[in-house]
Structure 1
Amino acid sequence: MTADDAPNAAQWQAWNGPMGAFWADNADRFDRGAPAYRETLEHAAAVEPDDQVLDIGCGAGQSTRDAARRAHRGHAYGVDLSARLLEVARRRAADEQIGNVTFTQADAQVHPFTPASVDIAISHLGSMFFSDPRAAFTNVRSALRPGGRLVLLVWQSFGRNEFMHRVLDALTPGRETPLPSAQGPGPLSLADPERVHALLEHVGFADVELVSVESPITLGADPDDALAFQSGQHAGLLADLDAGTRARALHLLHDDLVAHHVPHRGVCYRSAAWIVRARNGLN
């Protein structure tokens, strides 16, 4: 599949362009940013030794490898749009000598999964970027065996995630902060519990529940390190600013990073996510 014929074309292009390259180059930093969420998802998923696991939007594959270790008599399958991130995932699985894992460049929205082939589908912040979430979760549900489980980690609202709104506020001085869409593909698309319930129940999931979890997000070892990271992650936003406004924005962001610097811990911001659980309610 190419970007031109992908139904999720904008996301395909983004994750195989500069954004995907940035995430691949900073995979360690993203994995270290909130280790508590990794542990929370692993606990909620409760993967068993014989399970077949599907990891949606697996990125650099940390959650897939975690699942593969637990499903040591089963298998873990990671799918993601980004070729660069999947290169990292495959390399790390080989380095860690994890043989029961497979990574595929695919859009879980349309990929022809083998019907009723997996016991559990998981996602660590990777299920929020579908152009058609109804089609995506219908497709994911079809891959689950009857009664198979879905366990997602997704962000809560913009206001509950300080690392989002404080950074974006600083980078848009004198302008209204550009809120990520709560409807289209993006980090807030599954933030509304009512929308999540309606979406999953409509496509055949049952026993849908959301549990609130919170964890600090670490953006860097110190303010200068965090500034370099955040200015790279938001390079597109900064590129739209004139030189003077860009300098002011970076100054404001640096001041905020200084205010959130915790000695011996790094630059830390509050964040909140949902653990979403459901089961395949259709035969």
Structure 2
Amino acid sequence: MEPPANTSPPNAEQIDYWNGPVGQRWLAYNDWLDERTAAYGRAAFAAAAPQPGEAVLDIGCGAGATSFELAHAVGAGGSVTGVDISAPLLGRARERAAALGLPVEFREADASRPTFAPHSFDLLYSRFGVMFFDDPTAAFAELRKTLKPDGRIAFACWQGPQFNDWYERPLAAIAHILERTPVDTRQPGPFAFSDPDRIREVLGDAGFAGVELQPFATPFYLGRGATREAMADDAMEQVFRVGPIARLLEPQSEEINARARLAIRASLLELACDDGLEVGGAVWVVTARTG
């Protein structure tokens, strides 16, 4: 007997994920997340080098912070289109664009199945928006079609968990309490492009040429505050809002949750410095051009 056909639309799981409670949490703490990830986006922005008059597609634009930076760079003669699958985040992006008076277009759509006309853009840009495609090679092949013949792509994606203590440290702190599931770096998620060889393979198979990767690392301030305790309070809120800890602890008992919170807080307090709770953060800045 033939197995039943999969009738789910492409990227259905990610679309549900970013339009459900997770999307609402990211919306509620969007300013916090934008501030913590801004430096990594700027590294990709510098590599992208958007020019006045260019047309740019911002992939996974979220609440629009990167789209607005791009709009300032390309000026009145250029154009910026932000695309995302999260309706809550796009709603915030449109509100901010209106308040800023910036003519950025935002579309709720799956960037892996773009509906833009061929040769629409000079530049494809993304800050952490390209790691969630269910079929990345096909997605990048479709995105490449939207580029002009001399177009280019630039994006930031996380290096492996071992180089990103914002992810790894809380998990390590509770390793003696709960067994963790290894990260599958070939599945959609924050570390889907942590392997440089996979990035080159995916982009090469999608038809891109001149693929280059540059490592970029800078502190990620997981907690801010006037005192070490305030820093820890801020960090703990974020650890339990986004990331793997909340999902891991949700089905556990109150006793396990209490022990885990104590262990994570103690581990984070060790990192307090003048600027906040500083953990490691490292990305690949990836650039390529149409072949």
Query: Do the structures match in fold with TM over 0.5?
Result: yes
C-alpha displacement at 1:256, in angstroms? 1.5
Unaligned runs of 5+ in 1: none
Matched, 1:138 2:141: yes
Q: Could you give the per-residue CA deviations for residues 94-143 of structure 1, whole angstroms, max 9, x where no partner exists?
A: 222112x1111111111212111100000001110011101110111011
Output one character per residue of 1:219-255: Cα deviation in whole Å (capped at 9) or x when no partner.
2211011111211224332212111111111111111
1:173 Cα offset (Å): 4.0
Q: Does 1:181 align with 2:181?
A: no
Gaps of 5+ in 2: 1-6, 225-230
Give the distance between the partners of 1:84 and 1:171, measured in 2 at CA. 32
Please say if residues 71 and 80 of structure 2, whose CA atoms lie closer than 8 Å, have aligned partners that are also in contact: yes
% identical equivalent positions? 38
- What's the TM-score, normalizing by structure 2? 0.91
Say if 1:205 and 1:278, in contact at 8 Å, map to a contact too: yes
Whether the 8 Å CA contact 2:119–2:149 is kept in 1: the answer is yes
Cross-structure match for 1:229: 238
After superposition, residues 134-173 of structure 1 pair within 5 angstroms as: 134-171=137-174, 173=176
What SS does the corresponding residue of 1:76 show, helix, strand or coil? strand
- Aligned counterpart in structure 2 of residue 250 of structure 1, from 261, 279, 286: 261
- Cα distance in 1 between the residues matched to 2:161 and 2:273: 23
Map residues 23-62 of structure 1 onto 2, 5 A cutoff: 23-62=26-65
How many pairs were matched up? 276
Q: Distance in 1 between matches of 2:216 and 2:65?
A: 19
Shift of 1:211: 0.2
Indicate if the aligned counterparts of 2:27 and 2:89 stay in contact, CA closer than 8 A: yes
Provide Cα deviations, 1:26-46, integer angstroms capped at 9, x if missing partner: 010001113321321221111
Q: Give 1:211's aligned residue.
A: 214
Farther off after superposition, 75-84 or 220-229: 220-229
> What code does the residue aligned with 2:96 have?
R
Asked if 1 retains the 8 angstrom alpha-carbon contact of 2:177 and 2:256, the reply is no
Letter of the 2:46 partner, please give it: H
Higher mean alpha-carbon deviation, 45-54 vs 86-95, is at 86-95
Asked if residue 83 in structure 1 is aligned to residue 87 in structure 2, the reply is yes
The change in CA–CA distance for 1:149 and 1:70 in structure 2 (over 3 A counts) is same
Q: 1:273 aligned to 2:283?
A: yes
Deviation of 1:178 (Å): 2.6
8 Å Cα contact 1:53/1:76 also seen in 2: yes
Distance in 1 (CA, whole Å) between partners of 2:220 and 2:171 is 15
Q: 3-state SS of the aligned residue for 2:241?
A: helix
Q: Deviations over 1:258-282 (max 9, x none)?
A: 111212x11110111000000011x
Question: Residue type of the partner of 1:250?
Answer: R
Residues of 2 paired with 1:171 and 1:27: CA distance?
A: 27
Matched, 1:106 2:109: yes
Could you say if the C-alpha distance between residues 242 and 202 of structure 1 is closer, same or farther in structure 2, counting changes exceeding 3 Å?
same
Distance 1:34 1:81 in 2: 20
Does the 8 Å contact 1:155/1:188 carry over to 2?
yes
Aligned to 2:271: 260
Give TM-score, length-normalised by structure 1.
0.94
Match of 2:122 in 1: 119
Map of 1:96 onto structure 2: 100
Give secondary structure in 1 for the equivalent of 2:9.
coil
Q: In 2, Cα distance between the equivalents of 1:262 and 1:34? A: 19
Which 4+ stretches in 1 moved above 4 angstroms?
Answer: none
SS at match of 1:36: helix
The alignment's C-alpha RMSD in Å is 1.4
